C-alpha cells in the first residue's frame, strides 16, 4: 500500500505541476499493473451500460464520439461493454473504428448466455461489433454458466483470441461465489461492485484478489449514480483540495482506485462535462487510509 501510495503521489505531483487538464505534453494518468500480464492500465476507465445504448441517431452518436475522443485524449483506455447493453458494443466499436483509436483502448466485454455454442456465437459477434480481435478482456457476465464459458475462454486465450479472461457480478450477495471461483479457477480479472457506498468487497474479496494476483475492475463506482442525489447539495469538505479533488465524483473515484487491490474503476457517463470531471480522478494525490474513511463516512451520512 505504502509503495503504491508513493508512486501515486509522485505521479500526482507531476500531474499537479501541469495543472488539472493534461495537455499533449502532460504526464499520463496514474496506472496500475495487471498482476497476471504486467500490463499497465490507467486507473479511470469508461463503462457503457445505458449510456452507449443509442442506436443510429446521428446527434446521439455525436455526443458519444466526443466523450470517447476526450476519454482517450485525457489518458483513458479501459472501455467496458456487454452484449447485455443493447447497442452499446456496436456503437462503441463503430466510434472507435471511425476515430482510429483501437490501439489506444483496452477493450473489455462479456459473454452473457447459456451453453458452449451460444457463448461462442455471442463472443464472435461481440468481437465483430467492437472490431476487436483479439479482445483485451472477455468476462463471464454475472457468472452466467460460468464454468462452461471459462473452459472456452481458457482455450481461446491459448489460441490468442482473447488476451485476458475474467468474471463479473454487480451484487455483494455474489461476492462469496466470486471468491470461491478465484480460488479454484485461473482468471486474470474480476469485475465487481465497489464504491464508497458499497464497501462489502473490502471484507474478503478485495484482499483475496490481491493475494491471488487477480486484477480488479470496480463497477458502479457511483452506486449507479444515485449517490449524487444526496451529495449534490452538500459542499465539498475543505480537505478535498489536499487530494486534488474538485468534485464529489473525483472524491468517489479516488476512494475506489486508492484501494490497493483495485486496478481501475469504470464510471459510466454519456456527458462530456462528466467525463472530464471523472478523468481528473486519475491525476494528482490519492487519499490515505484516514481520508478514505472520511469519504466513506460522508457518503454514508
Ligand atoms: N454485472 C456487471 O458486469 C456490471 C453491472 C453493473 C455495471 N457494470 C459496468 O460498470 C459500469 C459503471 O456502472 P453503472 O453504469 O451501473 O454506474 P456508475 O458508473 O456508478 O454511475 C453511472 C451514473 O452516474 C452518472 N455520472 C457519471 N459521471 C458523473 C459525474 N461526474 N457527475 C454526476 N453524475 C455522473 C451517469 O450519468 P450521466 O450519463 O448523466 O453522466 C450515470 O447515471 C457500467 O456502465 C458497466 O460497464 C457491470
Query: What does the pLDDT look like over 173-193, one tens digit per residue?
Result: 999 999 999 999 999 999 999
The residues pairing with 256 across neighbouring beta strands, listed in sequence order, are: none
CA distance 152 to 63: 36
Where does the pLDDT of residue 56 fall: very low under 50, low under 70, confident under 90, or very high at 90 and above? Answer: confident
Q: Residue 221 C-alpha to ligand 1 middle, in angstroms?
A: 7
The finding on whether 168 has its CB within 6 A of some atom of ligand 1 is yes
pLDDT tens-digit series, residues 197-223: 999 999 999 999 999 999 999 999 999
What residues contact residue 162 under an 8 Å CB cut-off, 6+ apart? 134, 135, 136, 137, 138, 153, 156
**Grid cell at residue 202:** 473490502
The finding on whether 222 has its CB within 6 A of some atom of ligand 1 is yes
pLDDT of residue 78: 98
Residue 45 has pLDDT above 90, yes or no: yes
What is the phi/psi pair of residue 123, to 5°?
Answer: -70, -35
The finding on whether 278 has its CB within 6 A of some atom of ligand 1 is yes
Q: Residue 159 C-alpha to ligand 1 middle, in angstroms?
A: 33
Q: Note the pTM of the prediction, 2 decimals.
A: 0.93
CA distance 269 to 70: 12
The finding on whether 225 has its CB within 6 A of some atom of ligand 1 is yes
CA distance 282 to 8: 9
pLDDT of residue 63: 96
CA distance 188 to 288: 27
pLDDT tens-digit series, residues 281-298: 999 999 999 999 999 999
Q: Residue 268 C-alpha to ligand 1 middle, in angstroms?
A: 3
Amino acid at each position: 500500500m505504502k509503495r503504491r501510495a508513493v508512486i501515486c503521489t509522485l505521479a500526482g505531483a507531476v500531474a499537479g505541476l501541469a495543472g488539472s487538464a493534461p495537455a499533449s505534453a502532460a504526464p499520463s494518468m496514474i496506472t496500475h499493473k495487471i498482476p497476471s500480464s504486467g500490463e499497465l492500465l490507467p486507473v479511470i476507465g469508461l463503462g457503457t451500460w445505458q449510456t452507449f445504448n443509442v442506436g443510429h441517431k446521428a446527434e446521439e452518436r455525436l455526443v458519444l464520439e466526443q466523450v470517447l475522443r476526450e476519454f482517450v485524449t485525457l489518458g483513458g483506455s479501459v472501455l467496458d461493454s456487454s452484449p447485455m447493453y443493447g447497442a452499446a458494443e456496436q456503437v462503441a466499436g463503430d466510434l472507435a473504428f471511425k476515430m482510429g483509436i483501437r490501439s489506444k483502448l483496452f477493450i473489455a466485454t462479456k459473454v452473457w448466455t447459456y451453453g458452449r455454442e451460444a457463448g461462442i456465437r455471442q463472443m464472435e459477434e461481440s468481437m465483430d461489433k467492437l472490431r476487436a480481435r483479439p479482445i483485451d478482456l472477455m468476462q463471464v457476465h454475472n457468472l452466467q454458466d460460468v464454468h462452461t464459458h471459462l473452459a472456452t475462454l481458457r482455450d481461446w486465450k491459448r489460441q490468442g483470441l482473447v488476451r485476458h479472461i475474467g468474471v463479473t457480478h454487480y451484487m455483494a450477495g455474489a461476492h462469496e461465489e466470486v471468491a470461491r471461483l478465484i480460488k479454484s479457477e485461473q482468471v486474470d480479472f474480476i469485475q465487481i461492485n465497489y464504491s464508497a457506498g458499497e464497501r462489502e468487497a473490502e471484507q474478503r474479496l478485495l484482499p483475496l484478489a490481491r493475494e491471488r494476483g487477480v486484477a480488479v475492475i470496480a463497477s458502479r463506482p457511483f452506486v449507479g449514480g444515485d449517490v449524487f442525489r444526496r451529495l449534490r447539495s452538500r459542499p465539498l469538505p475543505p480537505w478535498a483540495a489536499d487530494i486534488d479533488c474538485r468534485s464529489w465524483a473525483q472524491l468517489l473515484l479516488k476512494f475506489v482506485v486508492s484501494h490497493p487491490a483495485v486496478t481501475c474503476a469504470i464510471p459510466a457517463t454519456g456527458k462530456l462535462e462528466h467525463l472530464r470531471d471523472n478523468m481528473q480522478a486519475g491525476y494528482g494525490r490519492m487519499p490515505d487510509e484516514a481520508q478514505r474513511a472520511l469519504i466513506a463516512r460522508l457518503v454514508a451520512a
